[in-house]
Amino acid sequence: MIDESAKQAAQEYLAAKLTEEEQLYEDTQNKALALARSPMVWKYLKDTIFEKCREWNAITQEETLTCKETAMGDLRIWCGPRRQQMMVHYDSKRLVITVRNGGRLEHEKDVILHMEGYRTGPERTDRDVHLVRNEQGVDIGMLLVGELRVLTGLSRQRKS
């Protein structure tokens, strides 16, 4: 006859083992998906940056922002009136995007975004990829507007 405490301990062990295996599976699947979809995420980010620059220039009715892709695949955004530039670099091996903004104060750090896969539903195949900063999902539109504001000499957020 099995002692009740031994039975409970064995069940806890199995539950912990299954949880570890499931977490390992999740991590592996999320990493694989992030790697597979990273070119699409980078393209979406590039397209969004070019669109934000076009919108900005249409509103100001001048070429305030100039956006170019370098031979290395990085993006450079220049603010002509201020002679500042912002560089956006994609590291495909590390799945990291770095935003260096010349309009930032010296003590402010670069923005570092990580591409991460995540589960979107109850099925094991329900997954997507998003950009993460400080372990939080990022609203790309808001982040880019804030960075462009800083590049052009405005404060990061609009004053009310």
Domain locations along the chain: 4-151
Q: From first to last of the 160 residues of the chain, give the pLDDT tens digit.
A: 567 787 788 778 767 776 888 888 989 999 999 999 999 999 999 999 999 999 999 999 999 999 999 999 899 999 987 788 999 999 999 999 999 999 888 888 999 999 999 988 888 888 999 999 999 999 999 999 999 999 998 877 777 6
Q: Where are the beta strands (DSSP E) in the chain?
A: 65-69, 75-79, 84-91, 96-101, 111-119, 127-133, 136-137
For the beta carbon of residue 94, count every other beta carbon within 10 angstroms. 11
pLDDT value for 31: 95
> pTM of the entire structure?
0.82
Nearest to 112 by CA among 92, 132, 127: 132
- Classify 103 as helix, strand or coil: coil
